[in-house]
Amino acid sequence: MNKKEIAHIRKQFKLDHDLLKLFDILNVYVTKDSSEIYHYECLPFGMLDREKQELYMGNFKKLLTGELDQKLFELRFQEEAEEPTKVLLHQALSSETEDWMNLMLLLVEKMLADTKYERDTVITFVRGEYFRPTKSRNEEAEVSERDEVYAHPFILGSVNSTEQQRKSLIFDYVEREFKYNYIVDPIIKLSAPEQGFFYPSVTDNASDVNHILYCAGKANELNPHFIEQVLNAEKTVTAQEERFIFEEIVKEVAGDQLDAATLAHVYEEINRVIETNEEEEPPKLDYKDLERVLTASGVEDVTSEKVEQAFQTVVDDRNFELKASSVIPKFTSKSIKIDTKVATISVSPQDLRYVRQVNYQGKRCILIEVDEDAVIEGFTLNTETLQLD
């Protein structure tokens, strides 16, 4: 599942969209004290008030918003899980409403097993289908791109915590008096889902029942229990964790210190791998690929054996593959932060070559090459000629 496919699905979630149909919605209220189902309600989505529909649409869109491998993760189902969620969800796709509801309640029971929620929680399930045109848009064609569409049935689950409303003082316009106001009904935080899923995933614009899209509430914060025990999916790593693994492997091979120019070359080589990739799947780096990247970047004494051993030392797997897009900062934006006591400097990976750490009069200094005069608060700085040690 790539960014374009997720974006296509996400933009369908708005009212009256002709490429989206929502059939049933099930809300399950779980109390924190007992971790049990307190109440549930299943209705046709079309019977909800329009204001409620808008709130739910916002929740679904928010759930599907974020970067792949940071907040959204395409996961493969475990092959040998007992009572696998994969089978449950696949059955639910084509079940009658009551059977669908009962299957979703079974999934809630899996969610409540061995789990204690800190707050009362509402779990929302919705099922429907979205449509994708079979042809790309052609302004000159007599036949509309929407005359032929593929229907993709899906189930979306969203986990939302609640919060108590605050005590407040209100003014009553009718009675013309100030009143103390305290509402005991909790607010369901639909604008900030805790986590959820979208099933089935999509591969090459086709439904993929062997994968599920897991949606985290916050970037780089996964719920291993939900992934492995509830969804019965294989565990994964975040882009942040993968970048840390990459850094540790490079340190094992090249040492703790690299000059900025060499590091810039490393990022450029990896970005070249990404840009020249012609496969549908995002490119990955094994130890042979990383050996080639480090060698081309000017890192000395790099051998295949040394890089292979570094993989084994850091991740205990010589055949581990790193997603190329996860191990480098965003290449064209100022995504690298150089923190010092005096200032924080932001620079893009492609401009890192213009930054050096030098020794001047016994002090470490950051030297940045610029093409024009630096201007501070409207004043142009004088240019000094220094003799560096």
The total number of residues shown for the chain amounts to 389
Find where tokens 């797997």 sit.
317
68 to 25, 65, 74, 201, 282: CA distances (angstroms): 26, 9, 8, 13, 11
Mean pLDDT value across residues 228-238: 94
pLDDT at 347: 93
Mean pLDDT value across residues 244-254: 94
Examine the pLDDT at 363 and tell me if it is beyond 80: yes
Helical segments of 113-222, H only: none
Q: Using pLDDT thresholds of 50, 70 and 90, give the confidence band for residue 148.
A: low
What percent of the chain has pLDDT above 90?
65
pLDDT at 186: 87
pLDDT tens, residue by residue, 286-313: 999 999 999 999 999 999 999 999 999 9
205 SS3 class? coil
Examine the pLDDT at 142 and tell me if it is beyond 70: no
* Ranges of each domain in the chain: 1-234, 238-325, 334-378
Q: What is the spatial distance between Cα 143 and Cα 135, in angstroms, rounded to a whole number?
A: 10
Q: Which residue has the higher pLDDT, 370 or 142?
A: 370
Examine the pLDDT at 249 and tell me if it is beyond 70: yes
Identity of the amino acid at 202: V
Q: Using pLDDT thresholds of 50, 70 and 90, give the confidence band for residue 221.
A: very high
Count of Cβ atoms closer than 10 Å to residue 56 Cβ: 20
Examine the pLDDT at 146 and tell me if it is beyond 50: yes
Examine the pLDDT at 67 and tell me if it is beyond 80: yes
Angle at 18 between CA 156 and CA 8, to 5 degrees: 55
pLDDT at 185: 83
Radius of gyration over alpha carbons of the chain, in Å?
A: 27
Mean pLDDT value across residues 105-120: 91
pLDDT at 143: 46
Q: Which residue has the higher pLDDT, 180 or 145?
A: 180
Examine the pLDDT at 157 and tell me if it is beyond 70: yes
Mean pLDDT of the chain: 90
